[in-house]
Amino acid sequence: MDELDNLRRCLLDELAGIDEPAALENLRVSALGRKSEITQRMKDLSQLDGEARKTAGQALNRLKDEIQGAIDAAQRRLAEAALERRLAGERVDVTLPVAFETTGRIHPLSQTIDEIVAIFGEMGFRVAEGPHIEDDFYNFTALNIPPDHPARQEHDTFYLPEKPDGTRKVLRTHTSPVQIRTMLTEKPPIRIIVPGRTFRFDHDATHSPMFQQVEGLVIDKKVHMGHLKGCLTEFCRAFFDVDDLPLRFRPSYFPFTEPSAEVDIGCRRSGGELKIGNYGEWLEILGCGMVHPKVLANCGIDPTEYQGFAFGMGIDRIAMLKYGIPDLRIMYESDLRWLRHYGFVPLDRPSMIGGLSR
């Protein structure tokens, strides 16, 4: 069977030299196709007989299988080589820069308001709102600040033009008028917070003619100053994320609360830096007190049956304290560099379960 051996060696040699699919196909046709030597020999088998035919047939089949296997292997080898060439050719410079961050930023004031709502929401407060252009009644008179009250002068009020009847609208100097509007329309128990824009005639390094306040109001039958302390202590500790943040309640005066208090939180001032925490120094942060019986009566709530507390603080101020924002006025400047530096990514929506530390 030297002839078959020769054929085998011949074909395998040829196969080993093939390096492209077309040549392989040609070889397959010439080696195994209808006109191939192997096919011819298969046909010729019929001329043999008996044992010889059987032996020769088996040898031919073995050869055919072997060549077919070798062609398949070569096919895989070529495909693999082709893929390698393609991969090599498709190489890109993965250090090319891409624009992956295309979102804008949420203003720190909005984020802070969301944080405030998240905290007070856990304590059962609901968000109430009110108009910025107010009647004198809601901004002053109903809050126990009659026209000749010295406290009015301290409010540096913006006015709109006088009307024929002598009245004039004011830009609310605090969010407290929403207390009045709420108490006039809702029955106790009441538990609201009122974040929003407020306006005072003041423009210098630490004052902006427009700023943001949040008001709180709780009206119920048995709520007292201890609850006020508890409510604000928990708020400040949660907001500033300082578990042992000390609060100091000092007697103070607001026409619409009695007793009244100002609240300081613990801090440290060193090297021009202010740090919030239990460090022995104090920083004033908000005003509060028990709602004045006259205010309750002004709103049609019986002060012998109901009582409650109210508080107010500057959102700008606590945002600046929490996030180390040094200047108030730039908050309203819409400077893109500032917005991107101090702003928050939109999906970062504050919640108590997620924590309020950023």
Partner 1 sequence: MKFTLSWLKSHLETEADLDTIVGRLTMLGLEVDGVTDRSKELAPFRVAYVISAEPHPNADKLRVCVVDTGTERIQVVCGAPNARAGLKGVFAPGGSTIPRNGMVLKPSTIRGVASNGMLCSAFEMGLSDDHDGIIELPEDATVGEPFARVIGLDDPLLDVKITANRADCLGVRGIARDLAASGLGRLKPLDTKKIPGRFASPISVAIADPEACPLFIGRYVRGVKNGPSPRWLQDRLLSIGLRPISALVDLTNFMTFDLDRPLHVFDAGKLTGGLSLRSARSGESLPALNGKEYALESGMTAICDETGVISLAGVIGGDSTGCSETTSDVFIEAALFDPVRTAATGRRLNLQSDARYRFERGLDPAFVFEAMEIATRLVLDLCGGEPGEIVVAGAEPPWQRQVALRPERVASLGGLAVEEAEIEHILTALGCGVERENGRFQVALPSWRGDIEGEADLVEEVLRIHGYDHIPVVPMSLDTALPRPALNAAQRRAGLVRRSLAERGLNEAVTFSFMSSALIGAGNQTFFGEVKPELLVANPISADLDLMRPNILPNLLSAARRNADRGYGDVALFELGPQYGDDTAGGQRDIAAGIRVGRFSVKQWNDPGRNVDVFDAKADALAALAAAGAPIENLQVTADPPAWYHPGRGGSIRLGPKTLLAHFGEIHPRFVTALDLRGPAVGFEVFLDAVPFAKSARQRPPLKLSSLQPVERDFAFLVDTSVTAEQLLRAARGVDRKLICDVRLFDVYTGVGVPEGKKSLAVTVTLQPVEATLTEGQIEAFSKTLVAQVMKLTGGVLRA
**Positions 222 through 241 that interact with partner 1 (CB under 8 A):** 222, 224-231, 233-234
| Residue owning tokens 């100097």 | 173
Interaction of residue 66 with partner 1, rule CB under 8 A: no
Interaction of residue 351 with partner 1, rule CB under 8 A: no
| Residue owning tokens 């700008």 | 316
Using CB under 8 A, which residues numbered 117 to 146 contact partner 1?
Answer: 117-118, 120-127, 129-133
Interaction of residue 161 with partner 1, rule CB under 8 A: yes
Dump the DSSP string for 276-305.
ESSSSEEEEEEEEEEEPHHHHHHTT--TTT
Distance CA 324, CA 346 (A): 20
CB nearer to partner 1: give 46 or 95: 95
Using CB under 8 A, which residues numbered 172 to 201 contact partner 1?
Answer: 193, 197, 199, 201
CB nearer to partner 1: give 248 or 275: 248
Interaction of residue 313 with partner 1, rule CB under 8 A: no
Interaction of residue 171 with partner 1, rule CB under 8 A: yes
CB nearer to partner 1: give 43 or 250: 250
Return the residue of 99, 166, 271, 357 that touches partner 1, per CB under 8 A: 99
Interaction of residue 54 with partner 1, rule CB under 8 A: no
Distance CA 342, CA 310 (A): 30
| Of 101, 106, 157, the residue nearest 319 (C-alpha) | 106
Return the residue of 43, 54, 62, 168 that touches partner 1, per CB under 8 A: 168
Torsion of CA 108, 109, 110, 113, to 10 degrees: 120
Return the residue of 96, 166, 270, 273 that touches partner 1, per CB under 8 A: 96
Distance CA 284, CA 274 (A): 13
Rounded to the nearest 5 degrees, what angle is found at the Cα of 125, between the Cα atoms of 124 and 129? 155
Interaction of residue 166 with partner 1, rule CB under 8 A: no
